[in-house]
Amino acid sequence: MRDAPDAGRTLVILQFLGMGLVWGASFLFMKIALEGVTFGQVAWSRLVLGGLTLGLIVLVTRPRVLDGPVLPRETIVWLHFLVIAITGCVVPHLLFAWAEQYVSSSLASIYNAVTPIMTAVMATLAFRVERIVRGQVAGILVGIAGVVVIIGPWRYAALTGDLWGQLACLGAAVCYGFTFGYTRRFLSGRPIAPATFAFLNIGIAGAIMLVATPVLAWHPVALTVPIVAGLLVLGALGTGVAYIWNINVLRAWGPTNASTVTYVTPVVGVVLGVLVLAETFSWNEPAGAALVLLGILLTQRRLRLPGWARRAGRPAPAAAPVAAP
């Protein structure tokens, strides 16, 4: 009687580990791909391949909610998905790919971990779908301080490419935060199957990329086996199947435990960057990353400051959503 539940738990654990590995390694794959393709082609490939992969999954499984349609029929729903496809996929994927021309894959993975803090800011201030306690405000401030330490503005006499690359990574995290706040405000309560939700998000972004092919992807390429393999993993696995894994883990463990992948991805990104690409750090980058992690723990209410528990309204959910890089 215990075999099936035990097998199910093992599968969920494997999917969680797969998410952390694939999303953490995506920064390495982007860096490798940029040796033979443009940043636009990197973003184009991952979204088109991810959309095709998720489309095939939806076509085969035909997921429904309460015997409803596989795809939503309301025009407004499609318009909402168009918004999050642009802000949650097209723009941040382009920003991360562009940024990795100037910053290390390790540093890009650290900036992606800022997403839960940006989500708390956007969900509270921009969309007003959450209220936060004072301890979470402290977490946001600590996280922002960590970002400043990572950037290290004292090291720059002018706006260098490295600084602009870091700001692009930060801009991608802001886009993710906006997208999650927008999703909570306009889409979370609608009866849409998780696989369909992921397909519409990535699939519409992939369609936008196809329309933009002459601008983003119609350039010479220098393909090698590692570059092709990296793009396939980025698209079909990291921007496709891993979204389904995330949904399964979320259902099995709940949002609080599922969101701990946020702590795994930067570790994987940093380790791979150092081991595979021989990337190095300045002192301020790990120090700032530690502050960002502390800020995330406070923002998600995994740590509480004595005397800071008084609510500023109703409390926010304990976990921020997970963002694929």
pLDDT digits (tens, 9 = 90+) for 14-58: 998 998 899 999 999 999 999 999 999 999 999 999 999 999 999
Confidence of residue 226 (pLDDT cuts 50, 70, 90): very high
Give pTM, 2 decimals.
0.85
Can you give the pLDDT at residue 62?
A: 92
Give the whole-angstrom CA distance, residue 190 versus residue 169.
31
pLDDT tens per residue, range 194-206:
889 889 999 999 9
What is the pLDDT averaged over residues 126-155? Answer: 79
92, pLDDT greater than 70:
yes
pLDDT tens per residue, range 235-267:
999 999 988 888 788 777 765 566 677 778 888
115, pLDDT greater than 80:
yes
134, pLDDT greater than 70:
yes
The pair of structure tokens assigned to 286 is 């790990």
Of the two residues 147 and 6, the one the predictor is more confident about is: 147
What is the pLDDT averaged over residues 144-161? Answer: 72
What is the pLDDT averaged over residues 216-236? Answer: 93
Can you give the pLDDT at residue 147?
A: 87
The pair of structure tokens assigned to 315 is 């409390």
Pick from 322, 200, 313, 305: which is nearest to 265 by CA?
Answer: 322
Residues in the chain: 325
pLDDT tens per residue, range 290-322:
998 888 888 877 777 776 555 444 444 444 445
Of the two residues 87 and 134, the one the predictor is more confident about is: 87
Can you give the pLDDT at residue 282?
A: 80
Percent of the chain at pLDDT above 70? 86
Can you give the pLDDT at residue 295?
A: 86
